[in-house]
Amino acid sequence: MDMVMEIGFWGMQFALVSALLLGAYRLRPKLGLSAVVAVVVSLQFFQGVLGSSFYWEAGERFMVSPGSVILFSSNLALLLYSFARDGIATARVLLYAILIGNIVPYAVGALLWFHIQYSEPHNFLGIPEEIFYQGMLPAVVGISVLYIDQVLALLGFSWMRRRFPFLPVVIPLTVTLVVVLAVDTVLFLSVVHFGHESLSTMIVGGVLGKAAGGMAFGVVWGSHLQRQMLRKADDLKQILRFVFFRDDVEKLREAASRDGMTGLYNRRTFDRIFGELLRRDDRRFSLILCDVDHFKQVNDTLGHDVGDEVLIDIARHIEASTREMDFAFRIGGDEFAVVLPRCDAASAGEVAGRIKSFRFEDDALKFVVTLSTGKAEFPAEGTTQVELYRRADEKLYKDKESSRL
């Protein structure tokens, strides 16, 4: 009877946490993510209290706590649930909410602990002082490992969904939770309790406990999510279409941002990326404009097919001349541009020099086809897109005039 009651209490805790989190998530259309964040942050306090105090025996040598088995596992489960259901934007909000929910109790608890040490409060409930503060090392390691857990969970779940799109969502959700929770246990205990004589026992007990929690959340929440997905699909074709939908959208967005012939980013993407760079805190970057010299003779003499091939060769040359973090664009006709984040004028000059090394010659052509360039640095030579473009264009014109002398 005691075993039945024990299992029943654990089951009720799991059901209550699931109802609170999924219920709050269901209120998003009316309340946004505020209700979800409120529940997540509220549960973090109980996670810390339970994780540092109350444990139940799960065998002759192992002990587990609801703080790690249920509450901690629910954090990662909710993160992956939101990612699978609504994408990375929603998951990112929850990721930071979970982190903040862990940092705040640590900070407030530490302050209360120091307050207790240097004064004589009346502890009417007899609460142990250690419940507020277990030391700096567990706090720093716990928060750091939590962030690693969340990143690994998102990457692992995303990889499994892309690698095995035919699997029901319950499988990648469960596998990801079990694996990441095991990694979390090993990392945290190995650092915080390094050298402890019972370290191996603690790791085994922690891994088994969190694996059980991860499996429970993965199976139950994954099945719930799968049913939601199936309600939107009438047949196998629609189910597969739903599975591949997110990848298809990304492919369509990528195609819409590219120039159809050269594969470089197009003018619309140029404006968007330029605007994003201007809004960033670390906003030092450079702009290089490129124009093809004597290009008209290629189309007139050799034909437009050869002209297209030359433009493609130029695009490949520009990509090879720039850094991996740079953005190359075809902004129209035979005009190209390169945006170089975190790049000063001197470094941009080196890139422009490599770009200008392009040559295309043919016996039928009167002139060698080359590239003229003009560069401008933000914010030294302009603080808006219009100013930088105008400055780079002025230098481009001067370079083009000098090449004709």
Domain ranges of the chain: 2-247, 267-403
pTM of the model: 0.56
- At 181, the amino acid letter reads L
pLDDT of residue 314: 94
Q: pLDDT tens-digit profile of 49-95?
A: 777 677 777 766 677 777 888 888 898 899 888 888 877 878 888 88
User: Span 113-128, mean pLDDT?
Assistant: 84
Going 165 to 169 to 175 to 179, the CA torsion angle's sign is positive
CATH class of 267-403: alpha beta
Neighbour count for residue 4 (Cβ, 10 Å) = 8
**Res 144 pLDDT > 50:** yes
User: Span 250-272, mean pLDDT?
Assistant: 78
**Res 249 pLDDT > 70:** no
Report d(CA 182, CA 171) in Å as an integer. 17
With a CB cutoff of 8 Å and minimum separation 6, the contacts of 356 are 370, 371, 372, 373
pLDDT of residue 123: 83
Spell out a b/e string for 142-178, using b for 16 or more CB atoms within 10 Å of the CB, else e. Answer: beebbeebbebbbebbbebbeeeeeeebbbbbbbbbb
Report d(CA 291, CA 371) in Å as an integer. 6
Q: pLDDT tens-digit profile of 333-378?
A: 899 999 998 888 888 899 999 999 999 998 888 889 999 999 999 9
pLDDT of residue 234: 45
The per-residue pLDDT of the chain, averaged, comes to: 83
Within 75-142, strands assigned E span: none
Q: How many CA atoms lie within 13 A of 306 on its CB side?
A: 15
**Res 1 pLDDT > 70:** no
Confidence category of residue 255, pLDDT binned at 50, 70, 90? low
More confident residue, 2 or 144: 144
Q: Are strands 56-57 and 63-64 parallel, antiparallel or unpaired?
A: antiparallel
**Which ranges of 257-303 does DSSP label H, i.e. alpha helix?**
267-279, 296-302
178 in Cβ contact with 214 (< 8 Å): yes
- At 9, the amino acid letter reads F
User: Span 196-220, mean pLDDT?
Assistant: 84
Within 32-147, strands assigned E span: 56-57, 63-64
pLDDT of residue 239: 41
- Please choose, from the candidates 350, 353, 344, 401, the residue with its C-alpha nearest in 3D space to the C-alpha of residue 376: 344
Question: Among residues 149, 259, 293, 334, which one is catalytic?
Answer: 334
- Please choose, from the candidates 88, 100, 94, the residue with its C-alpha nearest in 3D space to the C-alpha of residue 28: 94
- At 60, the amino acid letter reads E
Burial class (CB within 10 angstroms; exposed 0-12, middle 13-18, buried 19+) of 392? buried
Q: pLDDT tens-digit profile of 5-35?
A: 878 888 899 899 899 988 888 887 777 778 8
- Asked if 334 is an active-site residue, the reply is yes
Q: pLDDT tens-digit profile of 122-139?
A: 888 887 777 777 778 878
Highest mean pLDDT among 39-43, 62-66, 217-221, 243-247 belongs to 217-221
User: Cα 98 to the chain's mean position, in Å?
Assistant: 15
Residue with tokens 């560069």: 375
Report d(CA 355, CA 231) in Å as an integer. 54
